[in-house]
Amino acid sequence: MKALAILLLLTAPAWAHKPSDAHLSLDVHGDRVTGRLDIAVRDLEGALSIDDGDGQITWGELQAAAPRITTYIEQRVAIAADGTPCTLDLGTAKLVDLSDGAYWAVPVSAACTRTPHTFDVTYQLLFDLDAQHRGLVHVDGQTVIMRDGAPVHIQLGAGTSILSFVRYGIWHIWMGLDHVLFLVCLILPSVWKRDSLRKAGREVFEIVTAFTLAHSITLVISAVGLLRFPSRYVETAIALSVVAAALNNVVRAVDARWAVAFSLGLLHGFGFSSVLIDLGLPSHELIGALLGFNAGVELGQAAIVIALLSFLFLMRRTLAYQALLWAGSSTVALIATVWSYQRWVA
């Protein structure tokens, strides 16, 4: 028997699991920090004895332990922005299946008194139970590995490269349905009238360029603080610009749609800038952020336009296209009218 014990210590181990990790992912928007903390259910069992002893942890057992888990986290995780503690708030947890089993996924939000440039994260979960535990803190494109209970100082902005703003710009134009619909309404008729791809392409190019120029101008003016309007006015005006662009396809008021793109496009720049203003960037970071963000907006826009243009051009003689132009534009006008109202009363 003695020899067998020796053998157990010897044989090269073949691991079927990861060592213990937890993930704390944080997003910073101004003085609000939101994110999620994922802790392995098996680790919670080790720390808090959740199981009734049968070796199987049920969702019911976990939920019953939720208050204890919350207390455990609150006592051991803390965030400070530029040295001032933030108030941590834990939401209602769900489950998430990672490669290594089920994790308790609890939404985290923190109210800080200011927009942070540095974070001090204190993370003391599980180290007293498992010396090989690692807390992986994901914030601002960086991952910081917590190896013991010592607080870690994280410089924000180190990961806010121009690239991250390019990403942000693309994201924004795709999520901002109003900008996309405005542009789509303006380019829809170009294909219909033009039999030559080159002519159609040139008209679309003029419209997109006019829109780009216009919103870039107001984006810069507003971002650097030369001229700003309350977001309620801006957002409502943007919705109205979508109504105007859509109606123009139905009633054919203005034929020079590049002019519409330019004049109403000015409004959209004010909308884009509010995203950057909300980030509360220091002035020395603003130029890079502006360039990156605008580049991202243009890239996202170009991808949509190129894909759409090809599709529309092939469809231009079909019945569906006529229907799309008239019925689609009317529908967009209707939706955008609703938006205008909602944004005004909100």
Q: What is the smallest separation between the CB atom of 163 and other proteins, expressed in angstroms?
A: 9
User: Looking at beta carbons only, is 213 or 308 nearer to other proteins?
Assistant: 308
DSSP H/E element including 292:
helix 283-315
Q: How far apart are CA 278 and CA 48, in angstroms?
A: 40
List Cβ neighbours of 254 (8 Å cut-off, separation of 6 or more): 248, 260
Report the C-alpha gap between 50 and 53 in whole angstroms.
9
Nearest distance, CB of residue 256 and other proteins, angstroms: 25
Q: Which is nearer to other proteins, 38 or 235 (CB)?
A: 38
- Compare residues 270 and 272 and give the one whose CB is closer to other proteins: 272
Give the C-alpha separation, 186 to 281, whole Å: 34
The Cα–Cα gap between 195 and 317 comes to 10
71, amino acid identity = T
Between residues 205 and 229, which has the closer beta carbon with respect to other proteins?
205
CB burial string 54-78: b at 16+ within 10 A, e below: eeebeeeebeebeeebeebbeebbb
Residue 42 C-beta: closest distance to other proteins, Å:
5
Burial class (CB in 10 A: 0-12, 13-18, 19+), 7: exposed
- Least distance (Å) from other proteins to the CB of residue 343? 25
Taking the complex as a whole, the smallest distance from the CB of residue 297 to other proteins amounts, in Å, to 11
Helical segments of 224-256, H only: 231-251
C-beta of 59 vs 326, nearer to other proteins: 59
Query: Minimum distance from CB of 50 to other proteins (Å)?
Result: 9
Nearest CB to other proteins, comparing residues 21 and 120:
21
Nearest Cα neighbor of 145 from 24, 42, 46 is: 24
Residue whose CB is less far from other proteins, 139 or 238:
139
Q: How far is the CB of 37 from other proteins (least distance, A)?
A: 11
Burial of 179 from C-beta contacts in 10 A (0-12 / 13-18 / 19+): buried
Q: Compare residues 46 and 157 and give the one whose CB is closer to other proteins.
A: 46
State the nearest-atom distance from the C-beta of 307 to other proteins, in Å: 3
List Cα–Cα distances, 127 to 17, 102, 105, 134, 205, in angstroms. Answer: 18, 20, 19, 8, 59
CA dist., res. 213 & res. 236, Å (int)? 21
